[in-house]
Every structure is written in structure tokens, then in C-alpha cells.
A and B are shown apart, each in its own frame.
Chain A
Amino acid sequence: MNRSLSGGIVWYDRQGRSKLVDQFHINTDLVITILTSFIRAEVQKVGFQRAVLGLSGGVDSSVVAYLAARALGPGNVLGVLMPYRTSSPQSVADAGEVVRRTGIRHRTVDISPQIDAYFAGEPDASNLRRGNKMARERMSVLYDLSMAEKALVLGTSNKTELLLGYGTQFGDLASALNPLGDLYKTQVWQLAKALGVPPQIIEKPPSADLWPDQSDEGELGFSYRDVDQVLFLLVDCRLTPEQVQEWGFAPEFIARVQHLVRISQYKRRLPLIAKISQRSVGHDFRYLRDWGA
């Protein structure tokens, strides 16, 4: 059996022949068609024309801005820059470049006053608590502006973050529509290239920029390239951990990834409701969100 771990895995085509499929090589034309149709359809279905999103200067929010501009027209998209006083100046500059290139409208809301006011009473709060608070503050600003704009909030969480739980619940994980939720980080990079996102945004090390010099891969302890392959094999291909090992990944690494996925399941679900009645929201009151839309 042919195998390659440098970005590809063997797949079987319909004739049963093995062939190399590189999960990092999505069909970007097709993905752009689906995602722009998705944004347009789901925004217009609720009677809206507009969308708002937070622009961090990172690749995920940049890609969503490009997609939204194509789907709704740049005049119908509001990008909101929400720096904190320690945010990297490069992040703000990169977000500004996305605004210029896509032609979307933008606003800047400095979240330092409200964050500092709150933590004045919580001086011992950890970086993680401060970061989570900032993520939720940004969510709160976006939802407020979405009401003023009569717009839906676009999320920017990718599949890697969702599966690993690498995001703040009710913070950056909160949105009305999440166009990138079924694309791994490495696939987002590819999509970014196809959309013409500036190379410096694609090439810089991914960071939540919640504190100075934070880096995703440093914090997680592995690279997106590696974890995306393991997730792809476990989740998309439904291989067992033993089978994933045959692709050359260490058992400890696979176990760590599985652990992260399992302990973060709560972040991917709505709050639990205690069932008491015959028919309960969240249990057996089953309607899509698009009900009647």
C-alpha cells in the first residue's frame, strides 16, 4: 500500500485503487462557491443583507472577510477591529490591509477601557482569564453592532480549533454563521491563497494575540500540519488510534489529540437542559434553525 505522510494520505477511489489524496489540497474553487452561497443564502433567509465580523489580522478572519465581501458585496460587510492595548501593532496593520483590499466597511473599537476596568477588581487574574474575557468582550461588541447594523455575526473558527476546543466558549466560538467550521487550519491557508489574502497574513505564525508573543503552535505544543493530519485520520477517515499510528504518529501524540477532542465536547454543544416535561427544548423539540426561513 502506498503511503505518504508529508501532507498526503492514501485514499481508495471507486475502482478500489489506492491513490494519494492530499487533504491539504481542497478544491478551492468549489469551496469558495459553496461558502459564498452559504453566507448569502443564510443571511438573506432571515431577511438580512449584511454581516459583521471581528477582524484580528489573522488568516481565519481575513478569509471570512474575503468570502463575505464576495457573497454579500463589500458594502454589506462590516469588519470590526477590536484591539486591546497590548495587541500587536502588526495585527492591526494586517487587519487594515484586509479592509483596504476587500473594500469592506470597518470600525475600530478599543476594548482596553472595559477590560482594564473589570480586571482592576481582579488583579490576580491569569493570562487565560484575561484572554477569555477579551474574547467575550469582542463577542459582546460584535453582537451589539450586529443589532445596530441589522446584520448577522460571522464566526471565524476553523475545524481544528473546534475539534481541539482551542477557543473561548461564548467568545470567539460564538457566532450566527461559521463558514470555516468544516475546514482544517491547513486548508484555511490554502483557501487564503486562492482568495488573494496578503502573503504576510498567511505566513505569520498563528496567534490568538491575547497576550504578547502568544503563539497557537507554542501553546498547543504541536504543529497545525501534524495535528490536522491526525484529526483528519481520526475524524474524517474514522481510523482507530492504532491505525493512525501506522501513519507514523506517536501514540502519545494521538492520545493527547483524542483527549483534547473529548474534554472540549462541551464547547461544541448548547447548555444541557434538565428534562422534566413530555417535550423539551434540546431533547425532543426538533426543528432546524432554518424552520420556516
Chain B
Amino acid sequence: MTGVGDRPQAWRIGLAQIAPALGDVDRNVALHLRFVEQARSAGVDLLIFPELSLTGYNLQDLTAEVAMPASAPLLRKLSQAAGPMDVVVGFVEEDRDFRFYNSAAYLSGGSVVYCHRKAYLPTYGMFDEARYFAAGQRVAAFETRLGPMGLMICEDAWHASVPWLLAQDGAQTLIILSSGPGRGVLGPSLGSAETWYLLNRAYAHLFGVYVAYCNRYGFEDGVNFWGGSEVVDPFAAVVAQADQFSEDLVVAEVDPQVVRRSRTITPLHRDERLEIAWNELMRIRRRVWGEQA
């Protein structure tokens, strides 16, 4: 949203906590359009959908069958249907070399503004992503009409370097698309929820950014996706939180002046020492990979 003078103004973010159908893109497009409609009537400026929102999560051999290039007309049509509202969707991206990526597209004004490919593919325990997907190679912030942003997909956010790099690159809103399975029932709240809420608050606070975490709902072969999407402000306060174990749409205000105020009070971002990180990374790289690296 264009600010008055140079001062960027507050805008509204929406989290579309949907339960996508596995492998049924048509049905999922219809679901997206319903939430787009609702979000538009709620005055949302940017609507976030979860990881692989157009396809469902545990695709296995369906991966190749539901893949599309980032230039697919479907994505442009979704953006057109959203009108003035920006939208982030999750999909299986196919590149010209026929690799498949777990990707997120930032759509605005009928086109794809930025596409992030999941860089960290969990392949352990209940996860098997690297069997089906190629890993993304880039972590970068990008400009939008609503300010600088960074995209992460689920496991990306479990590697602290990713949100750190996005924040250093100028992102003031960190968007996490997630298909997070719920597990751990021995505590007062769901184990997965505790962990995610801890990460979201830590990143928001440490990097002086808004964190918008959109997790899906629904079941795939007995695995539950617990929802609980939330927006956390740079003071680590929860601005909005969706229900757990149901579909939901939550809307929150993102105010760049809150980012400014948090960075004025606690100027961690200003005081970051990139040269230390750079030097130490070079040293660690030599230690791990040897002198020739």
C-alpha cells in the first residue's frame, strides 16, 4: 500500500488455513477461490496459503502428475481472481530441466512477483521429500507493493540461517508456508505447536520482523495437520492466531511503524555484524571442507 509521504502504512495480512485435497488441483483451486473471496470482503491486502496448497502434501508419485511451471496460466488466473489483493500459494514447480520443486509463488497484479523453492527438504522420520523434490538453491528477500518480504517453506524455518539471511536481505515480513504434522500429546499443548510458536516468536523478536505462519489443516492417511496459523509482531506478541484442527481464515494488521519502533527500542538489526558472520563462515567452511574449498 502506498504510504503518505515516505512513511509506509499499515496493511492487512490474511492466513488461509485450508485443508487441501491430495492430488486434486481443480478442487483445490475452487477452495482457494472461496478463501480469496472471503479475504477480499475482509479487506485483506495479502493472503497466504499453506505449503503445497494447490496439491496437498504427501504426494509421492503424484508429484510429477500435479507439477506446473511458475509461468502456468493457472497461477496468473488465481492472481487475477484476487484482483488488487496479493496472494501466496504453494505448488509443485517444474523447471525446464524437468526437476520438481516444493515452491511458493508470490502473486500480484496478475503475475508471479517471486517464486521461492524450498531449500531444506526433510527426509527423515515421517518425511521423504528429497525422494520426490529437488532442493532450492536460493534464499533471498524481494520487494512487493507492501514492502520487503521473505518466503520460507516449513523445514526452511527449522534452519536458523534462512530467516536470518532473509532479515539481513531486508525482509520485514517473514512468511512461512507450512504443512506441519501434529504430534506429541504428553504436554499441556500439542508438541508441534509448542515448537512452531517458539520459533515464530524467536525469529520475530530477534530479527525485528513480522512472522506470518500459515499451516494447513486436514488429514492425509492418518497424519493430522494441526492448523494454528499465526501472525507474530516484532515484539513477539501474537497479533492473530487461527483455531487448531479446523479450517480458518485470520486477518491481522502489519504495521511498518511497529517494525520501526521495535528496531528503535532494540536495534539488533542495526547492530548485526555481517563481517563477523562472513569471516567465521569462511573459516568454518575451510575447517569442514578443507583448504581447497
Interface string of A255-288 (1 = CB under 8 A from B): 0000000000000000000000000000001111
Select B23's contact among A34, A42, A292, beta carbons within 8 Å. A292
Q: Please tell me if the beta carbons of B245 and A290 are within 8 angstroms of each other in the complex.
A: no
**Chain A neighbourhood of B61, CB < 8 A:** 285-287
What is the CB-to-nearest-CB distance from A71 to chain B, in angstroms, rounded to a whole number?
A: 12
Say yes or no for A225: interface residue by CB 8 A criterion: no
Interface residues of B in 43-60 (CB under 8 A from A): 58, 60
**Chain B neighbourhood of A291, CB < 8 A:** 22-23, 62
Q: Please tell me if the beta carbons of B60 and A34 are within 8 angstroms of each other in the complex.
A: no
The winner among B19, B24, B61, B182 for most chain A CB atoms within 10 A is B61
What is the CB-to-nearest-CB distance from A26 to chain B, in angstroms, rounded to a whole number?
A: 5
Select B60's contact among A23, A31, A288, beta carbons within 8 Å. A288
Say yes or no for A10: interface residue by CB 8 A criterion: no
- Nearest B residue to A26, CB-CB: B185
What is the CB-to-nearest-CB distance from A122 to chain B, in angstroms, rounded to a whole number?
A: 37
The winner among B22, B186, B224, B244 for most chain A CB atoms within 10 A is B186
Interface string of A25-60 (1 = CB under 8 A from B): 111001101100110011001000000000000000
Q: Please tell me if the beta carbons of B222 and A38 are within 8 angstroms of each other in the complex.
A: yes
How many residue pairs bridge A and B at CB < 8 Å?
66
Alpha-carbon separation in the docked complex, A33 to B189 (Å): 12
Say yes or no for B198: interface residue by CB 8 A criterion: yes
Select A27's contact among B19, B22, B185, B198, beta carbons within 8 Å. B185
Q: Please tell me if the beta carbons of A288 and B220 are within 8 angstroms of each other in the complex.
A: yes
Q: Please tell me if the beta carbons of A290 and B220 are within 8 angstroms of each other in the complex.
A: yes
- With A14-B198, A33-B245 known as contacts, the answer to whether A288 contacts B221 (CB < 8 A) is yes
What is the CB-to-nearest-CB distance from B224 to chain A, in angstroms, rounded to a whole number?
A: 6
**Chain B neighbourhood of A290, CB < 8 A:** 22, 219-221
- With A27-B186, A27-B187 known as contacts, the answer to whether A41 contacts B24 (CB < 8 A) is no
**Chain B neighbourhood of A37, CB < 8 A:** 219, 224, 245
Select A292's contact among B22, B195, B219, B245, beta carbons within 8 Å. B22
Interface size class of A (residues with CB under 8 A): 20 to 34
Say yes or no for A293: interface residue by CB 8 A criterion: yes
Say yes or no for A17: interface residue by CB 8 A criterion: no
Say yes or no for A21: interface residue by CB 8 A criterion: yes
- Nearest B residue to A34, CB-CB: B224
Chain A interface, DSSP helix/strand/loop, else mixed: loop
Say yes or no for B3: interface residue by CB 8 A criterion: no
Q: Please tell me if the beta carbons of B245 and A293 are within 8 angstroms of each other in the complex.
A: no
**Chain B neighbourhood of A288, CB < 8 A:** 22, 58, 60, 220-221
**Chain B neighbourhood of A177, CB < 8 A:** 222
- Nearest A residue to B188, CB-CB: A27
Q: Please tell me if the beta carbons of A30 and B60 are within 8 angstroms of each other in the complex.
A: no
**Chain A neighbourhood of B208, CB < 8 A:** none
Say yes or no for B31: interface residue by CB 8 A criterion: no
Alpha-carbon separation in the docked complex, A200 to B140 (Å): 62
Alpha-carbon separation in the docked complex, A27 to B19 (Å): 24
**Chain A neighbourhood of B219, CB < 8 A:** 37-38, 41-42, 45, 290
Say yes or no for B218: interface residue by CB 8 A criterion: yes
Q: Please tell me if the beta carbons of B222 and A34 are within 8 angstroms of each other in the complex.
A: no
Alpha-carbon separation in the docked complex, A288 to B222 (Å): 10
Alpha-carbon separation in the docked complex, A251 to B277 (Å): 50
What is the CB-to-nearest-CB distance from A164 to chain B, in angstroms, rounded to a whole number?
A: 21
**Chain A neighbourhood of B58, CB < 8 A:** 288
Alpha-carbon separation in the docked complex, A22 to B61 (Å): 40
Say yes or no for B113: interface residue by CB 8 A criterion: no
What is the CB-to-nearest-CB distance from A171 to chain B, in angstroms, rounded to a whole number?
A: 21
Say yes or no for A289: interface residue by CB 8 A criterion: yes
What is the CB-to-nearest-CB distance from B190 to chain A, in angstroms, rounded to a whole number?
A: 6
Alpha-carbon separation in the docked complex, A177 to B58 (Å): 19
Q: A288-B22, A292-B24 are in contact. List 11 more A-B contacts (CB 8 A).
A: A14-B194, A21-B186, A23-B186, A27-B186, A27-B190, A30-B189, A33-B245, A285-B61, A287-B60, A288-B220, A289-B221
Binding site for B on A (CB under 8 A): 11, 14, 21-23, 25-27, 30-31, 33-34, 37-38, 41-42, 45, 177, 285-293
- Rank and list the top 7 A-B pairs by shortest CB-CB distance, nearest first: A286-B60, A41-B219, A288-B221, A286-B61, A26-B185, A27-B185, A290-B22
